[in-house]
A and B are shown apart, each in its own frame.
Chain A
Amino acid sequence: MTRHLLKLVWNRKRSNVLIAVEILLSFIVLVGVTTLAVFYVDNYRKPLGYDVENIWTISFEKHAPGRSSVTIESGPEDAAAARKPVDRGFVGQRARVAQLMMSLRDMPEVESVAAAFVTPYSSNTWNSDIEVGGKHHRYGFNAATDDFARTLGLEVTRGRWFSRDDDGAAWTPVVLNERLAREVFPDKDPIGQFVDEQRPGDSQGPRMRVVGVIREFRKDGEYAAPENFLFNRNRLDDPDVEVQPPNEIVVRVKPGTTAAFEEKAITRLRSAEPEWTFQAEPLTQSRETSHRLWLAPLSAAAVISVFLLVMVAMGLNGVLWLHVTQRTREIGLRRAKGATIVNIQRQLVGEVVVLTSIACLVGVVIIVQFPLLDVFSAVSPMVYGVSVAISLVCIYLLSMACAWVPSRLASAIQPAEALRYE
């Protein structure tokens, strides 16, 4: 049966090639959109790592009149480069940040306050990578104060978060997320381990030692792929002149605090530090903005591809319809030889199924290259698999529906009439 159908398809290869190309392109478009959707759904189900309700972020600009966005990409050896400490006034600025946090803590609505460089949903990113045993691990980076975990509700799964116990330690205390901990220390307890290797020739900077592991910290929110994350401790009263002051404050307020809190807080901060510029936003609002940004491309792609598929369905339907009218004699002959209507319909739909299968086979071969070549490393092969499966079901349903309507037309052909035509 299948061989026979293949032969029939082959006999009309010229027009069938174009139909197959059309199905192939539709399949690829569909896989593209469903991959994005499945990727989002998959990410959304995973834990976020922090609380969103009742938290405000306050960011401040310290002197520049304009928002300065600086992207710094550092090579792994950069930390080893010999540098003389330069006093840029960081110690004083950190003390001023500590003052601001104190004045916020005095407010009755405030439960706890912490400072950091990168807050959830912010567009700031800070990436770095580290080499352990010849393997590079890339991670998102943040430096935060001792109250950060409590304020944002981070779940510490092993060890502890930073505290006063880390003052004066001979190493740099770090906290990893579970993902990075598993990646760097697959078969040991990470607590107390050094993350970076001491190599001969390196200048002897303090090494990074793990004091704790947190469940997760997905800075870019629910729709972003989970990534490795590493926290440094930021101590506002650190005597080291090179430790930079943080530029974000996070505040946990008591449940039921209204938006009026914002004006009070901003006024308080402005009078404490008139030369700085402050912005405050509840985390729920940042989440909303970030979700809109993530979902906009998906909804645009979805709308466009739905229209594309409707267009393809209509076109395919028309083409197959014309094929049936052109094959009146062939169908008449088959009917005269005793083929039933069901047989004819089965043949016509079968031909389209064969065509669709050929097109999808080529499509799958193309799609498989993406996980194999690791084009989008954030997308796991499982996501591709699910989206290919969804797309296959859709494409088969679509093409069979397109073949079904014209095949009913064929069944109306009277054998005697069709043969008389010859």
Chain B
Amino acid sequence: MLKSYLKLAWKVLWRPKFFTAISLFGICFTLVVLMVASSVLDHVFAPQAPEVRQGRTLGMFRARMTGEHSTSTSMPGYQLIDRYARGIPGVERVAAFAMPQTVYSYKDGQRIKSLIKRTDAEYWRVLDFQFLEGGPFTDQDVANGAFVAVINATTRDRFFGGPPAVGRTFEADGLHFRVIGVVPDVGILRLVANGDIYAPLTTAKTDAYRRELLGGFGGLLLARSTADFPSIKAELESRVRTAPLPGKEWTKLIAPAESLFDFLAGNLFSGRNEDRSHPERLWAVIIAAMLLFSTLPAVNLINLNMSRIMERASEIGVRKAFGASSRTLVSQFIVENLVLTLIGGAAGFVLSALVLRALTASGLIPYAHFALNYRVFGYGLGLALFFGLLSGVYPAWRMSRLDPVQALKGASR
């Protein structure tokens, strides 16, 4: 049965070529936009190297103090992570990193602008960097305040013109570092793992950060399993509540452990005095935007499909007169439409790959490497099928309701 549907679909595809071309163009273009969008989202949020353990990791990305009249929002401070997040049951490791800072180096009169990220040694054990050269700095290096650094591949090229870099020294922000490792570039939108230069926390120009409760740091909590998340969150919340606040005007401090997605949702959609993050609202906005965007192409495709059906009224009349049920006709038409969508989808994949490659090459987002991986492929396939059904169901239903006598006469309205 399906085989004859497919055969028929193939034949129909070639009949009015112009319409097939228009439909394919629409489907292809819609999928390209949706796939590029989902690839960018995937690049920002999905677990990928070096954040391979992202699924078991909770982050501390925001701290908020509230008082009677004021609210202060910032990143957590080192003390908040160091003193309150360590030793929570169920947490394997706690890493702290300073927010990247732009530093300048001057080499032969040229300025080199780099992002320096200062971290502790645990950072290298929570994340899983694939070292191109050398290795990470150790607890010993951090304790001694050794001026050693891990740099990314681009920074290596900028300073040394290529490998090998380990053992060589460079200047940044007036400080001299010795390279001990080189890692691949990480997209700048990866808040946790990005950076040009990674150096021990203790190479900071002053140790004032050790006393700060708020500002400038992010924390990573690697849990034994996701099952421990609720208890970890609750424990951290109750511990943070005991933190001494910096002034009488402040009454409450929160610093939740959450995923990056929850953090962003909290930034965008939580009210000024709301503690909870609302990831479902961010999801709703993303899905609504995608739906809204696909509405216009879908209506366009429905219109085209409707016209094509009316053109085929006599064929449908004959089939109905010979006893084809509405269901048969509907499923035939949906199969036809799905075939069309999948062909458009295939073209969309090729085109998306090209667009993503161009976007990567354009350097609009430094170090971002957008690619079609199996996850994005999955989203794309789902989107194509959804789109095919969306634009096929109504015309099919209309078709199945055609009156055979009228249809045979060729008078349809």
> B7 CB to closest chain A CB, in angstroms?
24
Q: Mark A295-321, 1 if CB is under 8 A from B, else 0.
A: 010000000100110011011101100
Q: Measured between C-beta atoms, what is the minimum distance from B43 to chain A in Å?
A: 16
Interface string of A339-353 (1 = CB under 8 A from B): 000000000000000
Q: Hey, what's the 0/1 contact readout for B169-185 against A, CB within 8 Å counting as 1? A: 00001100000000000
In the complex, the answer to whether A71 meets B22 with C-beta atoms within 8 Å is: no
Chain A residues, CB < 8 A from B302: 18
Given the interface pairs A304-B33, A315-B304, the reply to whether A65 lies near B209 with Cβ below 8 Å is yes
The yes or no answer to B130 lying at the interface (CB within 8 A) is no
- Hey, what's the 0/1 contact readout for B65-77 against A, CB within 8 Å counting as 1? 0001111111100
| Distance in Å: Cβ of A293 to nearest Cβ of chain B | 11
> Given the complex, which residues of A lie within 8 Å of B304, measured CB to CB?
315, 318-319
Q: Does A168 contact B (CB under 8 A)?
A: no
A18-B302, A69-B75, A86-B247 known; A25 and B307 CB under 8 Å?
A: no
* A279 beta carbon closer than 8 Å to chain B: yes
Q: Which of A267-284 contact B (CB under 8 A)?
A: 267, 270, 274-280
Docked Cα-Cα span, A65 to B100, in Å, equals 9
Alpha-carbon distance A86/B250, docked complex (angstroms): 15
| Contact across chains for A315 and B109 when beta carbons are under 8 A apart | no
CB pair B300–A22 under 8 Å, yes or no, is yes
Bound: A22/B299 CA distance, A: 6
Q: Which residue of A lies closest to B73 (CB)?
A: A71
Q: How far is B217's CA from A172's CA once the two chains are assembled, in angstroms?
A: 35
A98–B22 Cα gap in the complex (Å)? Answer: 67
**Cβ of B295 < 8 Å from any Cβ of A?**
yes
Cβ-based interface call for A101 (8 A): no
Pick from B70, B247, B296: contact of A25, CB under 8 Å: B296
B25 contacts partner chain A, Cβ-Cβ < 8 Å: yes
Query: Is B11 among interface residues, defined by CB-CB distance under 8 A?
Result: no
Instruction: Give CA–CA (A365, B307) in the complex, Å.
Output: 29
A97 beta carbon closer than 8 Å to chain B: no
Interface residues of A (CB under 8 A from B): 11-12, 14-15, 18-19, 21-22, 25-26, 29, 61, 63-75, 77-78, 81, 83, 86, 259-260, 262-263, 266-267, 270, 274-280, 296, 304, 307-308, 311-312, 314-316, 318-319, 322-323, 325-326
Q: Select which of A72, A83, A267, A312 is within 8 A of B72 by beta carbon.
A: A72
Q: In the complex, which residue of chain B has the Cβ closest to the Cβ of A292?
A: B364
Contacts of B212 in A (CB 8 A): 64
Which one of B102, B173, B205, B247 contacts A63 once the chains associate, using CB atoms below 8 Å?
B205
Report the minimum CB–CB distance from A302 to chain B (whole Å). Answer: 13
CB distance from A309 to the nearest CB of B (A): 10
Q: Hey, which chain A residues are within 8 Å of B268, CB to CB?
A: none
B118 sits at the interface (CB 8 A): yes
B206 contacts chain A at the CB level, 8 A cutoff: yes
Task: Name 15 interchain pairs, CB-CB below 8 A, sorted by A.
Answer: A15-B306, A22-B296, A63-B209, A64-B216, A65-B98, A65-B216, A69-B99, A73-B70, A83-B247, A276-B205, A307-B29, A308-B297, A315-B304, A318-B307, A326-B310
In the complex, the chain B residue whose C-beta lies closest to that of A311 is: B26
Enumerate chain B residues within 8 angstroms of A68, measured Cβ to Cβ.
74-75, 99, 215-216
B289 at the interface (CB under 8 A from A): no
Q: When the two chains form their complex, are residues B307 and A66 in contact, meaning their CB atoms are under 8 A apart?
A: no
Please give the distance in Å from B257's CB to the nearest CB on chain A. Answer: 19
- Residues of B contacting A278 with CB < 8 Å? 104
Asked if B101 is at the interface (CB within 8 A of a chain A CB), the reply is yes
The answer, yes or no, to whether B303 is at the interface (CB within 8 Å) is yes
Nearest neighbor of A312 in chain B, beta-carbon distance? B300
Taken together as a complex, chains A and B put the C-alpha atoms of A332 and B70 apart, in Å, by 77
Contact B69 A78 (CB under 8 A): yes
**CB distance B70 to A67 under 8 Å?**
no
Q: Is the CB of B99 within 8 A of A311?
A: no
Contacts of A12 in B (CB 8 A): 413
- A73 touching B272, Cβ below 8 Å: yes
The residues of A that contact B272 with a CB separation of less than 8 Å are 73
The smallest C-beta distance from B302 to any residue of chain A, in angstroms, reads 6
Residues of A within 8 A of B19 (CB): 318
The closest CB in chain A to the CB of B72 belongs to: A72
Q: Are B70 and A311 within 8 A (Cβ)? A: no
Partner of B70, one of A65, A72, A262: A72
Contact of A274 among B75, B174, B208, B216 (CB under 8 A): B174
Q: How many B residues, CB 8 Å from partner?
A: 59
A18-B302, A64-B208, A319-B303 provided; 4 other pairs, C-beta below 8 A?
Answer: A73-B73, A278-B104, A311-B22, A322-B308
Considering the chains assembled together, what is the distance between the CA atoms of A40 and B238 in angstroms? 48
Docked-complex contact B201 and A74, CB < 8 angstroms: no
Interchain CB contact under 8 A, A311 and B118? no
- Residues on the B chain within 8 Å of A70, using CB: 72-74, 214-215
Nearest to B308 among chain A residues (CB) is A322
Can you name the residue of chain A whose Cβ is closest to the Cβ of B99?
Answer: A66
A residues less than 8 Å from B216 (CB atoms): 64-68
Binary CB contact string for chain B from 201 to 230 against chain A (1 if under 8 A, 0 otherwise): 100111011001011110000000000000
Q: Are B303 and A19 in contact (CB under 8 A)?
A: yes
Chain A residues with CB below 8 A from B299, complex form: 18, 21-22, 25
| Closest CB in chain A relative to B399 CB, distance in Å | 13
CB-defined contacts of B99 to chain A, threshold 8 Å: 66-69
Contact pick for B74, options A22, A71, A315, CB 8 Å? A71
Chain A residues within an 8 Å CB radius of B308: 322
Inter-subunit contact A275/B22 (CB<8 Å) = no
**How far, in angstroms, from A64 to B74 measured CA to CA in the complex?**
13
By the criterion CB–CB under 8 Å, are B205 and A275 in contact? yes
* Shortest Cβ-Cβ A-B pairs, 9 listed: A66-B98, A65-B204, A66-B216, A66-B99, A68-B215, A322-B307, A75-B69, A68-B216, A315-B300
Residues of chain A within 8 A (CB-CB) of B69 are 74-75, 77-78, 81
User: In the complex, how many angstroms separate the beta carbon of B38 from the nearest chain A beta carbon?
Assistant: 15
Residues of A close to B29: CB separation below 8 A: 307-308, 311
Nearest A residue (CB) for B215: A68
CA of A12 to CA of B412, assembled, Å: 11
B311 CB to nearest chain A CB (Å): 6
Residues of B within 8 A of A311 (CB): 22, 25-26, 29, 297, 300
Is B111 positioned at the interface, with any CB of A under 8 Å from its CB?
yes
Known: A63-B208, A277-B101. A72 touches B173 (CB 8 A): no
In chain B, what residue has the closest Cβ to A29?
B296
B25 lies within 8 A of A66 (CB): no
Closest beta carbon of chain A to B326's beta carbon, Å = 18
Q: How far is the CA of A83 from the CA of B215 in the complex (A)?
A: 22
A61/B306 in contact, CB under 8 A: no
Q: How far is the CA of A77 from the CA of B68 in the complex (A)?
A: 10
Evaluate contact between A81 and B249: CB separation under 8 angstroms: yes
A326 to B312, CA, bound (A): 11
- Expressed in whole angstroms, the Cα–Cα distance for A322 and B68 within the complex equals 68
Alpha-carbon distance between A67 and B204 when the two chains are bound, in angstroms: 12
Judge if B18 is at the interface, Cβ distance under 8 Å: yes
A contact residues around B413 at 8 Å (CB): 11-12, 14
CA distance A21 to B109 in the complex (A): 61
Chain B residues near A72: list those with CB within 8 A.
Answer: 70-73
- For the complex, is B103 an interface residue (Cβ under 8 Å from A)? yes
Cβ of A66 and Cβ of B100 under 8 Å apart? yes
Q: Judge whether B14 is part of the interface by a CB distance below 8 angstroms.
A: no
Answer whether residue B379 sits at the interface, using C-beta atoms and an 8 A cutoff: no
CB distance from B345 to the nearest CB of A (A): 16
